[in-house]
Amino acid sequence: MSQVVIIGNGIAGITAARHIRKRSDVPITVVSAESDHFFSRTALMYIYMGHMTYDNTKPYEDWFWDKNRISLVRGYVDQVDTEAKKVRLAGGRHLPYSSLIIASGSKSNKFGWPGQDLDGVQGLYSLQDLEQMEKSTAGIERAVVVGGGLIGVEMSEMLHSRGIPVTFLVRETSWMNFAYPPEESAMINREIRAHGIDLRLGTEIERIEGDERGSARAVVTKGSETQASETLPCDFVGLTVGVSPNIDFLRGSGIELDRGVLVDDHLRTSAPDVYAAGDCVQLRNPKPGRRPIEPLWYTGRMMGETIARTLCGEETAYDPGIWFNSAKFFDLEWQVYGQVPAKLGDGEKTLYWEHPDGGRAIRIVYRAEDLAVTGFQLMGIRYRHELCQRWIADGCPLPEVLENLGAANFDPELYRQYEGELVALYNRQHPGAPLRLRRRRGLKGMLELLRAS
Amino acid sequence: MAAHDPSSRRLPTVLRSLGFAAFVIGLVVFLAALVLGGYQLTPEGLSALEASGKISPDHRDAVLAQLEPLEGQWFRSPGGFIEAVDAALGAANSDLGGSLGDYQQGEYRFWITREASRGPAAGRTTLLFLLSFVLAALGAVAYFLPRLWLEPPGIKNHGVWFSSVRSRGAWGIALGVLLIGFYIGLYFFPAYIVNWIRLADPASRWLTGGPADRWFFYGFLYTLAILVMAVRMAVNYRHNRYQLVRTASVTFFQLGFAFLIPTILGALGKPAYDFKNAWPLDYHFFFDWHLKELMASGALGWFILFWGIGLSVLVVPLMAVFFGKRWYCSWVCGCGGLAETLGDPFRHLSDKRLKAWRVERFLIHGVLVAAVVMTAIVLANFFTAGSGHPLFGGITWKIQKWYGFLIGSIFAGVVGTGFYPLMGNRMWCRMGCPLAAILGIVQRFQSRFRITTNGGQCISCGNCSTYCEMGIDVRWYAQRGQNVVRSSCVGCGICAAVCPRGVLRLENGPTEGRINEVSLVQIGRGRIDLA
Ligand SMILES: Cc1cc2nc3c(=O)[nH]c(=O)nc-3n(C[C@H](O)[C@H](O)[C@H](O)COP(=O)(O)OP(=O)(O)OC[C@H]3O[C@@H](n4cnc5c(N)ncnc54)[C@H](O)[C@@H]3O)c2cc1C
Ligand code: SF4
Ligand code: SF4
């Protein structure tokens, strides 16, 4: 290994670079077309809302790269030559590599709707998208956001923070009800509406109409089931209908592609010494219960470190471990550990508690046969990653989890704790030997549990 | 939802606008009161001065005799008048054979100017008191409270970086200049702001029976600012019990311990002691005049002496072992109290660069050394004074003065608060406070406190670092799954509040494994070695 080249300065590429540098002195070059420095894509919304500046989103100060001898190149890779082992930048410059890591991220989906290329119609993925959105939304009257995913909620919140009325079109009859159980999905619907967003469930986009200057003027919708059509006047349309791997520049390179860059268990592509990490990756053999493409911050980070280990001589297979994720819908925080499906599978059961105010919930999923817990889902409450993960990994039975559940609570000090109510609910549902909550929130209890198992 | 029904928004929106207008009027009245009117010594004024007891009987006749020629003269500006008073005091000093010290001249200058001021604050004091302090305070509260009806509970950081006053724009710089000017006037030119000080008379007469001096005025304004801005904190963080209780706590300690108790003690002729103010923040605790005052104040004085020593050497560090420095810095302390209320809108302006951290460590420990050395010299001189040959000669007065000037006034006041809109709300606490330095050493090396990072949930967004008033790059730790164990952390809890992924938790617990190093792939594997 004499020269590592990394395409993409996102979390996947940068994590790889940092961990290679921790273990080796090999020259590292990171190429990005988007920005001079690594910034946090997940924080794009906070720039628009005025919570942070662009500089605040950079996880490392600018001197960090020089000091760690990671050279940054601003440019677009338009060709990868896996025979000659070099990449070509637009403009003609070549960068030879001994090892190449492709970490080129995603691009926003568009599904060929009429009018999708009008001015004032866009997705949100890159810094350039954010700049565009800044321009397109200055002084506008109304916006429509299309597509009920996480970025759709973020975009609605962004526009709302600037006082722009938002209509939010979601195809499903309840927000993300294909991924969330009905109770949580309903809670998120309520949260979106409580902030004054005009949430239209069961509504799809038909086309976007433009004015004579080629700018968006209205969105024409149709009901997913009713087919009823409506015209919503607006001067901005956010298209947030998912992302897909950003791999077009690799076509013809000989690297095997499908929807993403195909990789094996060690994140190796079909070409020698070429690896891939992050959003652009499609796993040939995902772990059971996991998807081949998981465009997430956390997976990109884990992949980056995995490749760094392998490259530096410690052959490591990619293991994302037990699923976890989190998000915030307006003011409602969500965390998940393990598998919490929208619809229970065979042999799965669930215990769900919701606060009477409808803004907080705890759900535990477990196996009917041995009561082993398999998932935790929290709404408006924070839980400890380590402990939930440990319980799931150990297949800890629900009664034992419930009795110790307080220790998993990660809410700030002085917050009310609701684990007692969950235990009481369980006792009502399972008359007989009642369980008792034996632990309350606290670091000591958590450490004891982690050490014991 | 009610919150978005236009008719239910109308009333709170109107109230908010009215509140804003009232605040601006109050502020304008306050500013105008400073510059309107003039200065004139009247016969009644002179006799009031004579009766006030503010001029020591030893100097009274000489001073009043020299002031007599000024009687009836009208001065438009404080500068002209003060020049004339200084000339009179200089002459009185020669008459008295040079026995009038600088300090005393300053005090006399202040009280004479205060008596001579003929601004609006002198004529209609109560009316102006209502139109400035009370109107501005009520206006501000009326501006904050309607948010309860206008916005659902949650983090309220929309537009922070777009606001001129909160992002070092023109208004922010103007506010910084105003605050800096205020502190320079208060500390170094009190005679120039007698019109403001007189505005606090109604409160002073009610509480102490006497006219306001500058420290009463300052304490009153300080406490009022904390009370009003605590309402803002409570409204903004109504979903967060940690913030609510913490804000209630700093407000309570300011109102009771820092303001009311010392004011009342002072009015009763007792040492005006703030029972929560610990050395070396309370740098004059061991000053010779203070020790003498305490020893001359009977049982209460001796109690304060032992209390103050116990607080500094025992209570403060021990509590930090159990709870971290936060129990003092963001729950009890007056400087912290102002920073967490009045200063909260500026917390994101703290410098997060590594460079700033280096400067911070150098400065704060430098001030700690200075405070310790100064106190040691003063005490050594105090205990050896009886022999007639104090150990370090006659420098007590000088080093007390210089420490008070450089650290007490310039650093803690002018920079500490004046720089809120320029460099954030904790400049003093972060860079200068010697008590924070001690607490920080305890917190870093021998405490049960840390901020725990929640496994792999961090998305490196940077909200925590941005809103850390101490300029700690919280994200640096959070994204590596490492606990935050930093001497400067005051445990305000805002990083944990603004984190959108529930990654941070302030907590006290076993010290084992407190300072950890976690690798992220291990998190993926499902097992973490916490030891
Ligand atoms: C608004 C928003 C919010 C999100 N919030 C969350 C969240 O809360 N949690 C979560 O887990 N995930 C979230 N995500 C997803 C997460 O940000 C991504 O999964 C992650 O950033 C992907 O990282 P990456 O390193 O794979 O790619 P990227 O961050 O996309 O980096 C790839 C970089 O490579 C550059 N590049 C691509 N091709 C080339 C080329 N040919 N030449 C040169 N440079 C090239 C791109 O310009 C880009 O800068 C969010 C995404 C968005 C857009
Ligand atoms: S690290 Fe967090 S708790 Fe500590 S001072 Fe900074 S914001 Fe406050
Ligand atoms: S605010 Fe939370 S998610 Fe964002 S960087 Fe800090 S710890 Fe990570």
User: Residue A400: exposed, middle, or buried by beta-carbon count in 10 A (0-12, 13-18, 19+)?
Assistant: middle
Which one-letter amino acid corresponds to residue B447?
S
Q: Do B200 and B109 belong together in one domain?
A: no
| Residues A256, A260, A262: CA angle, nearest 5 degrees | 40
Is A50's CB within 8 Å of B158's CB? yes
Q: Do B444 and B477 belong together in one domain?
A: no
The pLDDT of residue B524 is 58
Mean pLDDT for the stretch of residues B154-167 = 98
Flag whether B309 is in a domain: no
Nearest to A331 among B152, B502, B530 (CB): B152
Best residue in B147, B161, B241, B476 for a mutation probing chain A (most A CBs within 10 Å): B161
Q: Which residue has the higher pLDDT, B525 or B61?
A: B61
Token look-up 């408006």 returns: A380
Structure tokens belonging to residue A190:
């309520």
Q: Do B341 and B437 belong together in one domain?
A: yes
- Structural domain that includes position B476: 452-529
Distance to chain B for A443, nearest Cα, Å = 6
User: Residue B398: exposed, middle, or buried by beta-carbon count in 10 A (0-12, 13-18, 19+)?
Assistant: exposed
Q: Where are the alpha helices (DSSP H) in A90-236?
A: 127-136, 150-161, 182-194
Q: Do B353 and B260 belong together in one domain?
A: yes
CA-nearest residue of chain A to B238? A415
Nearest to B152 among A43, A195, A297 (CB): A195
Superfamily holding A4-107+244-311: FAD/NAD(P)-binding domain (3.50.50.60)
Q: B-chain residues within 8 Å CB-CB of A322?
A: 526
Query: Can you tell me the distance from the alpha carbon of B422 to that of B173, in angstroms, rounded to the nearest whole number?
Result: 7
Flag whether B144 is in a domain: no
The pLDDT of residue B520 is 60
Q: Do B443 and B456 belong together in one domain?
A: no
**Which one of B394, B418, B451 terminates a domain?**
B451
Segments making up each domain of chain A, as ranges? 4-107+244-311, 132-239, 324-452
The phi-psi region of residue A85 (left if phi > 0; otherwise alpha if psi is between -120 and 50; otherwise beta) is: left
Q: Do B431 and B511 belong together in one domain?
A: no
Is A414's CB within 8 Å of B241's CB? yes
Q: With contact defined as beta carbons under 8 Å apart, do A251 and A257 qualify?
A: yes
**Which one of B58, B91, B118 terminates a domain?**
B118
Q: Do B461 and B375 belong together in one domain?
A: no
Arithmetic mean of pLDDT over chain B: 93
Token look-up 């070549």 returns: A94
Flag whether B514 is in a domain: yes
Q: Which residue has the higher pLDDT, A46 or B122?
A: A46
Distance to chain A for B113, nearest Cα, Å = 47
Q: With contact defined as beta carbons under 8 Å apart, do B500 and A328 qualify?
A: yes
Which one-letter amino acid corresponds to residue A287?
K
Superfamily holding A132-239: FAD/NAD(P)-binding domain (3.50.50.60)
Flag whether B107 is in a domain: yes
Structure tokens belonging to residue A317:
């297979």
Cβ neighbours of residue B421 under 8 Å, at least 6 residues apart? B165, B166, B168, B172, B173, B175, B176, B179, B346, B349
How far are the Cα atoms of B111, B203, B268, B500 from residue B208, in angstroms, in the given order? 17, 8, 8, 49
Query: Can you tell me the distance from the alpha carbon of B291 to that of B288, in angstroms, rounded to the nearest whole number?
Result: 5
pLDDT of B496 strictly over 50: yes
Which atom number of ligand 3 is nearest to the Cα of residue B499?
Answer: 1
pLDDT of B469 strictly over 70: yes
Q: With contact defined as beta carbons under 8 Å apart, do A74 and A95 qualify?
A: no
CA-nearest residue of chain B to A325? B457
Query: Can you tell me the distance from the alpha carbon of B117 to that of A449, in angstroms, rounded to the nearest whole number?
Result: 71
**In this structure, what is the dihedral angle of CA atoms A350, A356, A362, A364, given to the nearest 10 degrees?**
-10
Buried b (16+ CB within 10 A) or exposed e, A86-116: bbbbeeeeebebebbbbbbbbbbeeeebebb
Cβ neighbours of residue A161 under 8 Å, at least 6 residues apart? A48, A49, A50, B158, B159
Instruction: For ligand 1, pick from A7, A31, A42 the residue to mutate: most ligand atoms within 8 Å of CB.
Output: A42
Total tally of structural domains belonging to chain B: 3
Query: Can you tell me the distance from the alpha carbon of B70 to that of B48, in angstroms, rounded to the nearest whole number?
Result: 15
Instruction: For ligand 3, pick from B155, B454, B457, B463 the residue to mutate: most ligand atoms within 8 Å of CB.
Output: B463
> Domain A324-452 is of which CATH architecture?
2-Layer Sandwich (3.30)
Query: Can you tell me the distance from the alpha carbon of A50 to that of B325, in angstroms, rounded to the nearest whole number?
Result: 31
pLDDT along chain A (453 residues), means of 10: 96 98 97 98 98 98 98 98 97 97 97 96 98 97 95 98 97 96 98 96 96 96 92 98 97 97 98 98 96 97 96 95 97 98 97 98 98 98 96 97 98 98 97 95 92 81
Q: In this structure, which residue's CA is closest to atom 7 in ligand 2? A: B468
Q: Is the CB of A5 under 6 A from ligand 1?
A: no
Nearest CA to B47 out of B22, B25, B68, B17 is that of B68
The β-bridge relationship of strands A373-379 and A361-367 is antiparallel
CA B498–ligand 2 middle distance (angstroms): 11
The pLDDT of residue B321 is 97
Mean pLDDT for the stretch of residues B186-200 = 96
Q: With contact defined as beta carbons under 8 Å apart, do B169 and B185 qualify?
A: no
Tell me how crowded residue A418 is: count the other CB atoms within 10 A of its CB: 21
Flag whether B312 is in a domain: no
Query: Can you tell me the distance from the alpha carbon of B48 to that of B37, in angstroms, rounded to the nearest whole number?
Result: 20
pLDDT of B527 strictly over 50: no
Do the domains spanning A4-107+244-311 and A132-239 agree at the CATH topology level? yes
The pLDDT of residue B123 is 82
Flag whether B525 is in a domain: yes
Structure tokens belonging to residue A241:
């209908």
Token look-up 């190429």 returns: A31
Q: Do B517 and B434 belong together in one domain?
A: no
Q: Do B200 and B240 belong together in one domain?
A: yes
Q: Do B212 and B330 belong together in one domain?
A: yes
Tell me how crowded residue B356 is: count the other CB atoms within 10 A of its CB: 16
Q: Is the CB of B474 under 6 A from ligand 3?
A: yes
How far are the Cα atoms of B255, B339, B371 from residue B350, in angstroms, in the given order? 27, 12, 25
Query: Can you tell me the distance from the alpha carbon of B455 to that of A387, in angstroms, rounded to the nearest whole number?
Result: 9
Q: Do B195 and B77 belong together in one domain?
A: no
Q: With contact defined as beta carbons under 8 Å apart, do B462 and A40 qualify?
A: yes
Which one-letter amino acid corresponds to residue A38?
F
Which ipTM did the prediction report?
A: 0.97
Tell me how crowded residue B388 is: count the other CB atoms within 10 A of its CB: 6
**Which one of B100, B118, B136 terminates a domain?**
B118
The pLDDT of residue A1 is 83
Flag whether B240 is in a domain: yes
Best residue in A41, A42, A52, A377 for a mutation probing chain B (most B CBs within 10 Å): A52
Q: Is the CB of A10 under 6 A from ligand 1?
A: yes
CA B74–ligand 1 middle distance (angstroms): 72
Token look-up 């799965």 returns: A348
Which one-letter amino acid corresponds to residue A274?
V
Flag whether B401 is in a domain: yes
Cβ neighbours of residue B336 under 8 Å, at least 6 residues apart? B250, B328, B329, B330, B429, B490
Best residue in A443, A449, A450, A453 for a mutation probing chain B (most B CBs within 10 Å): A443
